[in-house]
Structure 1
Amino acid sequence: MMPPSEKILVVDDEANMLALCESVLRKEGYVVVCAASAEEALALLEKDSVDLLIADLRLPGMDGLELVQRVKAQQPGLAYLLLTGHGTIQSAVAAMKEGAADYLTKPVDVDELKVVVKKTLEMSRLTREVQHLRLQVASEHEFPEIVGRSKAMGALLRQVQLIAGSDSTVLLQGESGTGKELIARALHRSSPRRDRPFIALDCGTIPETLLESELFGYVKGAFTGASANKKGLWEEAHSGTLFLDEIGDIPVSFQAKLLRVLQEGEIRPVGSTKRITVDTRVVAATNKDLKSEVRAQRFREDLYYRLAVVPLRLPPLRERREDIPLLIDHFMTKYCTRTHQARKQLPSALLRRLMEAPWPGNVRELEHTSERAVLLSPGPEIERESVVLDHVALDPATRTSDVQAITEAHALLDNVEREKLRQALVRTGNNRVHAAKLLGISRSTFYEKLKRYHLLEEISESAPLPPCSRGVP
């Protein structure tokens, strides 16, 4: 039951050397990939990332030094070691001046290989941690990505600070649009796991039949189409954080499997008889009242208590209205910058109107409203007509003509937005991950828009969409 480990790429044209390194390093618990040439190594690195590169200086075609220079240009932080014969030690020393961690002379001493590899990987981890600390010290705010100074947000962020260093499971509860994924990412970035992967999955977007293979992976031949082994997201998040959004949407039939993994810390890929130990912190989120779901027997009580070791409630925007001016300023700056426009001013009357709005869609709705206002105001000031809200009853003095104008503006904007979504999908071959990136929005937001405009049914007739899983190493 070996846990997922650090991956090493060994490049040497001597089959005996590759076999030796692979045998020794695998026994030490590393994942080892071998290549017989620099060209083969570059092809492998295009498909997968590694934690350490070990390369012979003398290779057929492109030599080891040129390989290292090419790899450094693409992955500046990658650690690497060089293998050298006695006649090329000078070259190895020169390579160390360029950033190589160390070198080993042939024939390689097995004990020395183990020690040098271990030391190099430890130094690589330490370097990443120092870089992170520098960024943290340079930041004026503990959570610079989170906007808000209200008492409600202050209390939430203090709780985040207190629990960030633990491995306890966290359950984020709050209405849609309150920023649950943002808080999950803040927890990860403030934790000792910050340099390891943050993997997010929107459980509500994955069909029940795919949920197990998506989370736990599968082995070759497990089902039709399983032509190779595939890691699940739980294993991808090993030593990092797994964010399970919309956990309340997981079918009851799957909840027992999820509970077992949380209790035992082991997963079993679909079609496999072997279990894999995983060290993954789980942060779950829901906009449902899970206690009510438990009473209605739609959610297992034991799973609820396993997830809610540390429950955090995210306040809706109506409970933190004092943050609205700060959020508007943040979003207007963001979208003015993105559209290459000078910073626009917001009239005080409009600000009061926005402060009094009910905001059922919370911060997400406020962001969309700010984006639209920037796009529909060509001058230096946000125009009243550009502030289109999803709730008409804002002002008792609103006249019928105003209501009609708002309705017409909604229809126009909806048509424009729907067409933008369609064009993004056409340009990316119906790949919603790439389409979301093209539009500059999160994948969960993109999926919600597809549902809102009934585009999922239309697309499924022409081409299948890939699952909406999200990964940040």
Structure 2
Amino acid sequence: MGTQVANHFTEFVPVNVPVTSPTQALYLGSMENSESVLRAAQDADLRMQTAQSPADMLSRLTSKAYSVAVVELSIPDLDPAEFLECVRQLVVPVMIIFLLDAHTAPSEAVRLVRMGAYHCAGAGTSVDELSQLLEQAAEEARCRKLAAAQHDKQWRNLLVGESKSMQDLVRIIDLVAPRRCTVLITGETGTGKEMAARAIHMASGRGQAPMVALNCSAIPEHLLEAELFGHTKGAFTGAVNARVGRFEEANNGTLFLDEIGDMPLDLQAKLLRVLQERELQRLGSSETVKVNVRVIAASNLDLLERVKQGKFREDLYYRLNVVPIQMPALRERAGDIRLLARHFVIKICRLEGMPVKEVFNETLEHLSWYSWPGNVRQLENMVEKAVVMSGDRQSLLPGDFPLPAEATRVDIGRSIQQFSVPDEGIDFVRAVTSFERNIVDQALQKTNGNKTLAADLLRLKRTTLISKLRVLELA
């Protein structure tokens, strides 16, 4: 491996990458290896530029425009430890990949990774392997940037994820938040319904006023009315003092009613009247109290089915369901698992007052294969357990997350059984090609076009997926 530094400014723009918003990388190394590095960058959809020296590279990295840097370890005037320390202090995370020569000891590679290098590529690394490594590094930088970023919209920090379903949720909140209409949030337990409600509250003009939350299934039925509307002294046994209810506490703000499907029928009628008239009477009083409250309700039950069963008022359902929001299950936005895991590691480490632990790609891949029946809440709890049980170790390994052996999201056999061959027959080759194209398209959509992550989802080698894409393009 030569040591003559590529001392001219080189820029390579892949054909399929929009020039307006490319993921950029920097290369510092010999001319001998520059062609291979640029080819790998092209395959990884990266825009690669070449630096002239370690100082020049560090200067460029401070511009916040780069996500990945490839550095040849044998470059003159390079002090790896000092270089990594400078990179660590950058505002925007940059993944450093060192290119080793045949004489570099394995212990040196281990030392560099422990000091903060993303990876050390050996002398025999192929262009395809380097391309995969670059793509993974760019994805890692993107995840770290999103996990640590402070957005202009503070409420957006509550909604971690970049999947299409989360983008749709953000768009709905943007539209709904400034209005006074009621919102009904549905979804499985643990999907983040209260977080969505808090995001709506923070994004609205009521954000400076209180948001009051009440779990309707956690309060005994005989106390729920007083909890909602308040009561006077002596209104019932045990009411030794007058008390305002949750509606009045949330005046000019937002009232979040969780598990609304468990509310008793007689109380549903009183809630409907308050929503329509925007006034209430405390229990034991005839005085009418005006309230200005935005109500957001949530349920993990099918409320329409509850209406059919006579357990939920139809008129209340339609009064609450002015703007419906369906929270996606975590298995339906598997591409967000990596972001969520990093987010929770940062959050929990900061709450515990400890340095933020590293989460390796192998660990994230391990987490991505699980179906997460408990959704985001289950993931957060497991991350918290892993952080605590890993002790002083600065990295989280796959073994820190003991998952059930059955970790497949999709029952492939059941999906295939749902397909039936028509009586008139079928074009087998066309049907199989269509099936392959469909699952490949879904994998690419879930991973925002990242071929490495899509290959992981499909349990394929990246080279196999690329070959399959080429075949499908010709089909």
Q: Shorter-chain-normalised TM-score: which range?
A: 0.5 to 0.7
What is the CA distance between 1:273 and its match in structure 2? 1.2
1:154 matched to which residue of 2? Answer: 167
Which residue identity is paired with 2:178? Answer: G
Any conservation in 2 of the 1:202–1:246 contact (CA below 8 Å)? yes
Larger RCO (alpha carbons 8 Å, 6+ apart): 1
- Does the residue aligned with 1:243 lie in a helix, a strand or coil? strand
Give 1:321's match in structure 2, choosing from 329, 334, 339.
334
Correspondence list, 1:7-406, <5 A: 139=152, 143-378=156-391, 379-389=393-403, 391-394=404-407
Match of residue 42 from structure 1:
none
- Per the alignment, residue 39 of structure 2 pairs with none
Following TM superposition, the consecutive aligned residue runs of length 4 or more in structure 1 with deviations greater than 4 angstroms are none
Q: How many Å separate the matches in 2 of 1:192 and 1:173?
A: 23
Q: Which has the larger radius of gyration?
A: 2
Counterpart code for 1:196: A
**Structure 1 stretch displaced more, 210-219 or 186-195:** 186-195
Deviates more, 1:332-341 or 1:171-180: 332-341
Q: 1:140 to 1:232 in 2, by over 3 A?
A: closer
Q: C-alpha displacement at 1:222, in angstroms?
A: 1.0
Alpha-carbon distance in 2 for matches of 1:139, 1:150: 20
Cα deviation code 1:148-187 (max 9, x no counterpart): 1111100011000101011001000111111111111111
Q: Secondary structure of 1:171's partner? A: strand
Q: What is the alpha-carbon distance in structure 2 between the residues aligned to residue 228 and residue 141 of structure 1? A: 39
Q: CA deviation at 1:224?
A: 2.4
Q: What are structure 1's unaligned runs of at least 5 residues?
A: 1-136, 397-473
CA-based RMSD of the aligned residues comes to 1.9
Specify whether residues 233 and 142 from structure 1 end up closer, same or farther in structure 2 by C-alpha distance, changes over 3 A only.
closer
| C-alpha deviation, 1:145, in angstroms | 2.4
Alpha-carbon contact 1:353-1:394 (below 8 Å) kept: no
Structure 2 distance, partners of 1:342, 1:228, is: 48
Quote the offset at 1:140 in angstroms: 6.1
TM-score (norm 2): 0.52
SS of the aligned residue for 1:200 comes to strand
Q: State the shift of 1:291 in Å.
A: 0.8
Residue 238 of structure 1 aligns to a residue whose secondary structure is: coil
Q: Which runs of 5+ in 2 are unaligned?
A: 1-149, 410-475
Deviation of 1:343 after TM superposition, in Å, equals 2.6
CA deviation string 1:109-132 (max 9, x = no partner): xxxxxxxxxxxxxxxxxxxxxxxx
Amino acid at match of 2:296: V
Summarize deviations over 1:47-83 as a string: whole Å, max 9, x none.
Answer: xxxxxxxxxxxxxxxxxxxxxxxxxxxxxxxxxxxxx
Q: Deviations over 1:201-234 (max 9, x none)?
A: 0111001000010000001121223222210111
Closer/same/farther in 2, CA of residues 365 and 293 from structure 1, 3 Å limit:
same
Equivalent-residue separation in structure 1 for 2:217 and 2:372 (angstroms): 23
1:345 CA displacement: 2.4
Q: 1:267 to 1:386 in 2, by over 3 A?
A: same
